[in-house]
Amino acid sequence: MRIGQLAEATDTTTKTIRYYESIGLLAEPRRLPSGYREYDEAAIDRLRFIRESQASGLSLAEIQSILELKDAGATSCEHSAALLQRHLDDLDTQIERLQRARIEVAAMAARAAQLDPVDCTDPNRCQVVAPH
């Protein structure tokens, strides 16, 4: 199949496919005498794996590290699990930070509900955000 057909089959763009080829995520396909790229069915599977991995939060570098193991004939489960655990830990940290920020913003909102705008006389700061 040609690049446009591969793009359509995997819900991606031809530009993205070319980029993945340029960074080694996707092997360069064989070229027809006309110069067109010709992809096989394996390209669909690999491209879908790349897209699904990205959707799970893995970076292209991390995906490449998994694919390099697979290309070398090694198993990648332990490596993939470690990558995902690292992402899970990062998400937990972000959630904690967001929960603390939410508490602070909720306190500001509650303070704003109690304030009279007439009392806002400081020309350099807002009493809602930075109380006196």
pLDDT at 131 over 70: no
Strand, helix or coil for residue 31: strand
Cβ neighbours for 4, distance < 8 A, ≥ 6 positions apart: 14
Burial of 78: CB neighbours in 10 Å, binned 0-12, 13-18, 19+ = exposed
Strand, helix or coil for residue 22: helix
For residue 14, give the nearest of 6, 22, 26, 24 by alpha carbon.
Answer: 6
pLDDT at 103 over 90: yes
CB 24 within 8 A of CB 65: no
The residue assigned the tokens 């699904």 is 52
d(CA 53, CA 98): 25
pLDDT in tens, 3-58: 999 999 999 999 999 999 999 999 989 998 998 889 999 999 999 999 999 999 99
- The model's pTM: 0.75
